[in-house]
């Protein structure tokens, strides 16, 4: 069992993965979650994570597809003993706060774990649906594996920790707004039921995601930033409700140096992802924002 479960960043593919397209995901070790017991048993009932875990345990035990996968006797015993998940992963920021919880529960209480990543993704998606109404399973898969990976309809490709070259720097731009994933995902799924939207999205948006991923991994800077610029336009066209008003200028402006942004997680708040090869110029551009460099 792991000591802790790291947060994650989906670099590319938040919404295109719903179509079983490619996504690129990395761990963010700045934030994490880990199991703990309280020093005082009386404190157990007042801990929000302990209470929410009891509700989650009830959901899993009543779900026909999940109820046979876990040791609920041990889970109940530990929860009654005050077990909680201590986490500093920001909630509503697209960094996998619920994903870390799902990964932790699976890791601790799954009766028989699978090493088939696509099976894991499906299981995690069913588990995380408790929090969001619908889930791809990508967030908890990353929190569980703790390694960078590219996922395609054919499988999961684990990448080395060094695959991110220093030529392309990534930063998190704080919108200071908490995101509510469920209504945004429901809105997108309603949109994709429209044949015209679906056709345009798959023809114009999904291929650009794939190009951004491939050029980031190969470190083809020129093509990467060109593709990133097209991606920002695509997010304005297809995912406008997911872009906060206070970051809209970052998506619509042209820059005289390599810099581009995209939503992170479900969008609608949390962090916006920024990419550049000129840190000083970008830091100056983002001086009014709170920025975390990866």
Task: Check pLDDT > 90 for residue 145.
Answer: yes
Q: Give the mean pLDDT of 172-190.
A: 88
- Sheet order of strands, 259-263 included: 259-263, 271-276, 169-174, 290-293
How far, in Å, CA of 258 to CA of 8, rounded? 25
Q: What is the pLDDT of residues 232-291, one digit of tens each?
A: 999 999 999 999 999 999 999 999 999 999 999 888 899 999 999 999 999 999 999 999
Q: What is the dihedral of CA 234, 236, 238, 244, to 10 degrees?
A: 130
Tell me which H or E stretch contains 290: strand 290-293
Domains of the chain: 5-158 (3.30.230.10), 169-293 (3.30.70.890)
Out of 40-44, 165-169, 189-193, 273-277, least confident range: 40-44
| Residue 113 token pair | 């774990």
Residues 95-126: b if buried by 16+ CB within 10 A, e if exposed: bbbbbbbbbbbbbbbeeeeeeebeebbbbbbb
Q: Give 152's contacts (C-beta < 8 A, 6+ positions apart).
A: 21, 22
- pLDDT for res 42: 55
pLDDT digits (tens, 9 = 90+) for 67-93: 999 999 999 999 998 899 999 998 888
Which two tokens mark 269? 């708040």
pLDDT at 159 over 80: yes
pLDDT given for residue 43 in this prediction: 52
Q: Give, as one character, the DSSP assignment of residue 110.
A: B
**Banded pLDDT at 41 (limits 50, 70, 90):** low
Distance CA 291, CA 5 (A): 23
d(CA 206, CA 17): 9
């Amino acid at each position: 069992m792991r000591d802790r479960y790291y947060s994650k960043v989906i670099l590319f593919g938040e919404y295109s993965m719903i179509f079983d397209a490619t996504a690129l995901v990395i761990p963010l070790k700045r934030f994490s979650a880990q199991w703990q017991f309280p020093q005082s048993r009386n404190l157990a009932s007042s801990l929000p994570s302990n209470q929410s875990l009891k509700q989650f345990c009830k959901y899993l035990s009543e779900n026909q597809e999940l109820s046979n996968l876990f040791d609920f006797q041990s889970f109940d015993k530990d929860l009654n003993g005050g077990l909680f998940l201590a986490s500093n992963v920001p909630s509503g920021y697209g960094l996998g706060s619920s994903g870390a919880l799902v990964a932790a529960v699976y890791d601790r209480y799954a009766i028989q774990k699978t090493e088939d990543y696509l099976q894991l993704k499906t299981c995690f998606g069913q588990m995380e649906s408790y929090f969001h109404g619908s889930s791809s399973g990508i967030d908890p898969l990353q929190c569980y594996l703790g390694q960078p990976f590219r996922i395609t309809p054919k499988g999961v490709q684990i990448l080395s920790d060094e695959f991110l070259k220093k030529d392309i720097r990534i930063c998190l731009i704080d919108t200071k707004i908490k995101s509510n994933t469920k209504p945004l995902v429901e809105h997108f799924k309603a949109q994709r039921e429209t044949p015209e939207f679906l056709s345009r999205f798959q023809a114009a948006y999904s291929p650009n995601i794939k190009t951004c991923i491939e050029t980031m991994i190969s470190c083809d800077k020129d093509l990467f930033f060109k593709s990133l610029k097209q991606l920002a336009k695509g997010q304005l066209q297809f995912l406008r409700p997911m872009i906060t008003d206070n970051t809209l200028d970052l998506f619509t402006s042209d820059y005289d140096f390599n810099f581009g942004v995209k939503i992170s997680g479900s969008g609608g708040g949390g962090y916006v992802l920024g990419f550049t090869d000129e840190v000083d110029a970008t830091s100056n551009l983002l001086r009014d924002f709170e920025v975390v460099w990866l």
